[in-house]
């Protein structure tokens, strides 16, 4: 399953409340998201390694840093950079939500002992 497919499935499950009765699935999906977060960070790292050289070349053709940044954002790497940052934020929020559900299930289990 692709990163996007996993994120969509987990997002839908969170949104629809499917984890309420299954904290084990929440924990498994949280681990999947952690792995995907790491993979996305690696992809972003590759873009950020290339960015300075490309950005400096582009800077020669524009009047300001702001104009250069706007031009960068229109490149394939610039679009990918923004998309990866948004996916990281999404992963982070889903991991937080799953963590909350896992903590709630843990507390409930402790209270039932």
pLDDT of 102 above 80 = yes
Are 50 and 77 a contacting pair, CB within 8 Å? yes
- Residues of the chain with pLDDT > 90: what percent? 82
* pLDDT of res. 50: 96
Q: pLDDT tens-digit profile of 66-78?
A: 999 999 999 999 9
Q: pLDDT tens-digit profile of 42-99?
A: 999 999 999 999 999 999 999 999 999 999 999 999 999 999 999 999 999 999 999 9
Q: How many CB atoms lie within 10 A of CB 78?
A: 19
């Amino acid at each position: 399953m692709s990163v996007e497919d996993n994120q969509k499935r987990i997002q839908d499950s969170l949104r629809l409340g499917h984890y309420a009765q299954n904290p084990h699935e929440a924990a498994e999906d949280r681990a999947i998201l952690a792995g995907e977060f790491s993979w996305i960070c690696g992809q972003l790292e590759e873009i950020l390694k290339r960015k300075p050289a490309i950005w400096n070349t582009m800077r020669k053709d524009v009047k300001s840093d702001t104009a250069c940044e706007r031009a960068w954002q229109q490149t394939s790497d610039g679009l990918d950079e923004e998309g990866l940052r948004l996916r990281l934020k999404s992963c982070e929020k889903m991991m937080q939500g799953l963590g909350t559900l896992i903590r709630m299930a843990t507390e409930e289990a402790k209270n039932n002992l």
